[in-house]
Structure 1
Amino acid sequence: MSTPVPHSQYDPTSHLLLTPEDSDAQARVARLREIGIGNAPVPEFDEFARHLAHVTNAPFSMVNFIDESRQYFAGLYAAGRPGVELQPESQQPPVGRTMTRDQGYCPHVVVRRKALVLEDVCDYPRFAGNRVVDEIGIRSYMGAPLIDWKTGISLGTICVVDTDAHPWGRAGLETIKSMAQQLVDQLYVLEDRGRI
């Protein structure tokens, strides 16, 4: 017989909002250090993010690497705001190159190791309650994992977001998956040259 949970501790929707458990976090951090990904923007990744935004017709794009406690945007593009943070039109504080692991959808992509397309996050109860919806105004998301073929670890993501619902469609999914592979290839080239 199960013990009843006190009402004050019970939230029937809490399982929908949790950031997924990440068993690869320590191995990912070690590999990112080995590659040379740290706390500095990578100009090539900023340019990649700009191109990704253009190809997908999205106002915001990121190259995102994830450790045990946070996400770091080594590549960032914000339409009309080159070199600055994502900042909603509301008076909410801007989001810079880092976010906690419970903000956004990239941690789900990393753990699932699969692309994720949310044309309107409000259509998905699991994702609609995420902090980025209210804090930043994110309404749609599309991301794909960056799988390190040397270790099999998902190192991070590339993603695009919009403050409006965005019909990414099958073409968008194929594009983001293909471009994720291109970014992994670029990552290895930069690693080999010691340029990260």
Structure 2
Amino acid sequence: MEAQLHPQEAQRLEALRAYQILDTPTEARFDAITELAADLFDAPIAVINFIDQGRQWFKSEVGLGVREMELAPSICAHAILDHDMFIVEDTTTDSRFIDNPLVTGEPHLRFYAGKLLTSENQLPLGTLCVLDFRPREFSPDQRRTLDILGRHVMELLEFRRAAQKRDELAMALGEELEAHKQSLGVVSHDLRAPLHVISMMADSLTELPIDEISAPQIGSQIKRATRSMSLLIDDLLDAESIRNGSIHLAQRPHRPVALVQPLADLYQSMATENGIAFSTGDLASLPPVSCDDDRVGRILTNLLHNAFKFTPTGGTVELDAKLDGEFVSFEVRDSGCGIPRQHLERVFERHWQSNGDKGGAGLGLSIVKALVEAHGGRISLDSEPDAGCTVRFSLPIA
């Protein structure tokens, strides 16, 4: 008679796979337990098995000679429906196994004793079991011994899983440390560039004759340098808040035109200086959105900063917005160098850069994405090499 599926079969299989034990090589620590069990119980067969979907897989075995078998005739498939210990002293007198092919044919099993291996949520994963070709009695002392060995198997499993998690964490920390190291180098470079501009302008003010100093030009360059530094510092602060899960939004209704206009005025002068055509759409009729205006300003500043940075003289940058159901969708388009399609999936990853020669800490777009999603919105980026980029993000209507 075939065993029924466990009443929590899906959860049981999920718990089993979380241990990442299936189809792994043999390990001496597990083999030592099956060998000890075979000796202690004078049993020709001892196994540590795990009940997978449609099969039983053996992590360790003595006297069996295989690593897996189909599940249908398995006595262990019945064992995992029990609560702790499953004992069959004579299979030929048990109605569940009297016609079992492993009983009526090779290897003619007559005795089975199995200790359930259960997860921390008490879901059965498999068994530590001993089998014999003759009927046997199983004493209380033997039950206790099998129980101790079974618990030791679970201790090894938990230790193994903890070691895997430790290794995964160490790898993740190593990758994060390397990313921080790379980011620190780029941030250092990015801070030096505007500082160098400010230093040069200061030299001009102190060394050039008064009649050769162009105050508007120097002021504009200093303003641009400090704006670049401010953006980088804000990005670093936001990145830390996002990493710690401590980002806080002061959301209130704001009209899209009020969010865009101050930045449009600011970047219009930059566009004129760089020979870039900059335009904004008609946003006056759009309804208010629920947002933190300071953070949305940061989003738009990052996107416009990137657009201008990668758009050459004679190019275009456009900022527009439109109603999209229960959202207002903002769009920043440029005619810059664009991003290869194979890189588009990675553009919102922290520390990722596609144009290393342009500088940039690789933080901006990952922060933009986190801020948009914190508002309950969505963001996407489309691009073709040498055809510019289009970034769209949405904010909910207030």
Q: TM-score range by the shorter chain?
A: 0.7 to 0.9
Write 1 or 2 for the structure with the bigger share of helix: 2
| Matches of 1:109 and 1:187, distance apart in 2 | 19
Aligned residue for 1:92? none
Q: Classify the secondary structure of the residue corresponding to 1:38.
A: coil
Name the SS of the counterpart of 2:96 in structure 1. helix
Displacement of 1:54 in angstroms is 1.3
Q: Which amino acid aligns with 1:24?
A: Q
1:1-196 equivalent positions in 2, closer than 5 A = 17-43=1-27, 44-78=29-63, 85=65, 96-133=66-103, 134-149=105-120, 151-194=121-164
CA RMSD of aligned residues (A): 1.8
Name structure 1 gaps, 5 residues minimum.
1-16, 79-83, 86-95
Q: Whole-Å Cα distance in 2 between the matches of residues 117 and 32 of structure 1?
A: 23
Structure 1 residues 66-112: Cα deviation after superposition (integer angstroms, max 9, x where no partner): 1221100111112xxxxx61xxxxxxxxxx22122222311111122
Aligned letter for 2:16? L
Partners of 1:75 and 1:28 in 2: CA distance: 21
What is the count of residue pairs matched by the alignment? 163
Tell me which stretches of 4 or more aligned residues in structure 1 moved more than 3 Å: none
Gaps of 5+ in 2: 166-398
1-structure distance, mates of 2:33, 2:95: 31
Equivalent-residue separation in structure 2 for 1:108 and 1:39 (angstroms)? 22
Structure showing greater relative contact order (alpha-carbon pairs closer than 8 Å, 6 or more residues apart): 1
CA distance in 2, matches of 1:112, 1:26: 17
More divergent stretch after superposition (165-174 vs 114-123): 165-174
Q: For 1:37 and 1:24, how far apart are their aligned partners in 2? A: 20
Contact 1:60 1:162 in 2 (8 A): yes
Contact kept in structure 2, 1:25 and 1:67, CA below 8 Å: no
Given that 2:22 and 2:50 are in contact with CA atoms closer than 8 Å, whether structure 1 keeps it comes out as no
Identity in percent: 25
Following the alignment from structure 1 to structure 2, what is the Cα–Cα distance between the partners of residues 42 and 113? 27
Distance across 1 between alignment mates of 2:75 and 2:160: 27
